[in-house]
Amino acid sequence: MGAWGYGPLENDTAADLVLDLQEATSEQR
């Protein structure tokens, strides 16, 4: 909910996407 809310297309760098995915998965746990 938090990661994709920022719009991954704006920050389409691999590092930012990975960090957002990691934060999303950590929040779901």
pTM over 0.75: no
Q: Which amino acid is at 7?
A: G
Give the per-residue pLDDT at 3: 56
Q: 24, 2 in Cβ contact below 8 A?
A: yes
Q: 4, 27 in Cβ contact below 8 A?
A: no
> pLDDT of 1-29, one tens digit each?
455 555 555 556 777 778 888 888 887 76
